[in-house]
Amino acid sequence: MSYFCGKYPIIERKTLAKGIYSMIVDAPELAEEAQAGQFANIGVQGFTLRRPISICEIDKENGTLRFVFEVRGKGTAALSRLVEGESLDILGPLGNGFRIPEGKKIIVVGGGIGTPPMLEIARQTTSLCTAILGFRDYSRIILKDEYEELCAKTVLCTDDGSVGIHGMVTAPLAENLKTGDYSLVCACGPEPMLKAVIKTCEENNVPCQVSLEQRMGCGVGACVVCSCMTVRNGKEFYSRVCKDGPVFNAEEVRFGG
Amino acid sequence: MVDLSVRIAGVEFPNPVIAASGTYGNGECYTDLYPLSKLGGISCKGMTIEPKLGNPPPRIAETYSGILNSVGLQNIGVHGFIEYYLPTLKEEGNVIIANVAGAVIDDYIAAAEALDETDVDMIELNISCPNVKQGGASWGVSCEGAGSVTSAVRRATKKPLIVKLTPNVTDITEIAKAVEAEGADCISLINTLLGMRIDINSHRPILKNNTGGLSGPAVFPVAVRMVYQCYKAVNIPIIGMGGISVWEDAIEMMLAGATAIQMGTAIFNDPYSPLKVIEGIEEYMDRNNIKSLTEIIGQVKPW
């Protein structure tokens, strides 16, 4: 795995929901290297730090990458104003992606802006994949059509019950884990959701991989700011979300550390 | 053909651009983009005699033209560094500087002794880390503290000794003079400026450590001023750092008195920035018919 640094033209820009944008860039060498769950650290003119944004789709054939991101502050707002024909300043692909077993049924769980990185897994596993997606309300729903087209089953949940199941993703997750022979759950989303997903997986004895988020610096493992507490062989230590993650085996993660 | 090389305490750097400690890992992180040998040297991630966990996250916050960090010297320990990183560093890099920190004087001595017989070219004594409760910058804020650590480490190693100074002091020249008197071969400055940011919604500091060290272009003029002051106060060479991001900054820092420069935060924004700075310095020398960088070091003409 290697990464690149350069400017790559935006060939498609779309607004998916209020404050959520999708951009496809022409970046053949990145697409060749990229794996589901990896991210790119994207430069924004006028800001010291790059913005880590997960890769939503990898099209090796056409040499493109898709990013879907939410405006969280001034940096991502500036990023969202870039249009087709302009370029994204990309450092990537970075980090460790999801490790997907071949030919086995899996469940992907995405919460809010944690749904985009799961789409590439769905693309790769299609009919073996069940997607359980959670959003705050109907206005925040993104990528529903893509998931529904790719996956064997797509379950929607909203916090307010405006669409799909009323409540957390964990109820349909537990139900699916009990009835189907799934070999893995992959999840990305807010911390409370990840904690609940991990607990549900433990109860059902199914392995789980989670993608974590942390305030980041370099993106390549040099500065050690994006740490998360992990445990291996009974020993607790800080791992780097950018380099050792962002995807971790659930049993290694210690939240709140 | 211009000569980009500089010499500090008998150590020759092929060019004056060094990766600053804590921003470049131990040289392993950017090799996908270009070889470590392009840089004049690397100051490795600050190391302590025992491995150190570091501070809880978040450890970084963006500021206007800069960042705050509160890593807290997370590292695998001096022996881990020697075993896992040093062989590759020596093979792939130019000047290898081991940045050494500690809580008590004995920690500094033990680390310096452990490094004394290794392939590191220089030791950079970190008495300026603002993010650790014990030691760190507390050594660097008084002449007595700075002098005593320098003196102890000086006796523990034959390696050329750089002392990295904190800007969080009343008069940095007094500290510079104190470490020079105790045997420092070089001073490097500035480490980060102590700062803080608060989330207006949660009323919580953004950094879990509450405070952190400010770096990036925001601190550059402060760094230039301090290098300028120290150049006049001491006779040992200075490595200037603090917010250098383009070649013009590097030249400015050298005019203020720096023999070499370190870059850090700028690399997060543009990993190629050190190479661009080297290229810019070369072109500047060529344009101005400067044969050696010694012609510009400390050559600012104050009013």
Share of chain A above pLDDT 90, in %: 96
The predicted model gives B191-196 an average pLDDT of: 96
CATH of the domain spanning A212-257? 2.10.240.10
State whether residue B35 sits within 8 Å of chain A by CB.
no
Q: How far apart are CA A230 and CA A252, in angstroms?
A: 5
pLDDT of residue B73: 94
Known active-site residue B129: yes
Tell me the average pLDDT across B283-289. Answer: 97
pLDDT at A127 (0 to 100): 94
In a domain, B163, yes or no: yes
For residues B22 and B262, is the Cβ–Cβ distance under 8 A? Answer: no
Cα distances from B54 to residues B47, B69, B128, B137, B184, in angstroms, run 11, 12, 16, 15, 28
- CA B252/CA B299 separation, integer angstroms: 10
Q: A98-211, what's its fold?
A: Rossmann fold (3.40.50)
* CATH number (domain holding residue B32): 3.20.20.70
Q: Catalytic residue among B129, B143, B186, B230, which?
A: B129
- Is the pLDDT assigned to residue A256 strictly greater than 80? no
- How many angstroms separate the CA of residue B68 from the nearest CA in chain A? 10
- Tell me which residue of A253, A194, A215 sits closest to B209, measured CA to CA: A215
Q: Is the pLDDT of residue A214 over 80?
A: yes
Sheet holding A106-111, edge to edge: A165-166, A153-158, A129-135, A106-111, A184-188, A208-211, A247-249
Q: pTM value?
A: 0.95
- B155 assigned to some structural domain: yes
CB contact under 8 A, B59 and A215: yes
> What is the pLDDT, as a whole number, of residue A180?
84
Min Cα distance A256 → chain B (Å) is 9
B56/chain A closest Cα distance in angstroms? 7
Residue B272 lies inside a defined structural domain of this protein: yes
Is there a common fold for A98-211 and A212-257?
no
Residue A257's pLDDT band (boundaries 50, 70, 90)?
Answer: low
Average pLDDT (A100-128) is: 96
Write down the mean pLDDT value for chain B.
96
Number of A/B CB contacts below 8 angstroms equals: 100
Which residue among A50, A91, A224 sits closest to B71, beta carbon to beta carbon?
A224
Compute the distance between CA of residue A156 and CA of residue A141 in angstroms, rounded to an integer. 9
Query: What is the reported pLDDT for B276?
Result: 98
Give the residue from B67, B262, B268 with the most A CB atoms within 10 Å of its CB, the best one to mutate: B268
Q: B59 vs A91: CB contact, 8 Å cut-off? A: no
pLDDT, tens digit, 9 for 90 and up, residues B51-83:
999 999 999 999 999 999 999 999 999 999 999
Give yes or no for A228 touching B (CB within 8 A). yes
- B259-273 tens-digit pLDDT: 999 999 999 999 999
pLDDT confidence bin for A197, thresholds 50/70/90: very high
Within a domain: residue B113?
yes
Neighbouring C-beta atoms of residue A78, cutoff 10 Å: 15
The domain locations on chain A are: 4-94, 98-211, 212-257
Tell me how far apart the alpha carbons of residues A90 and B9 are, in angstroms, rounded to a whole number.
Answer: 40
Residue B141 confidence (pLDDT) above 80: yes
Question: CATH code for A4-94?
Answer: 2.40.30.10
The answer to whether B201 faces chain A, any CB pair under 8 Å, is: no
Residue-wise pLDDT tens digits, B99-115: 999 999 999 999 999 99
Q: Classify residue B205: in a domain, yes or no.
A: no
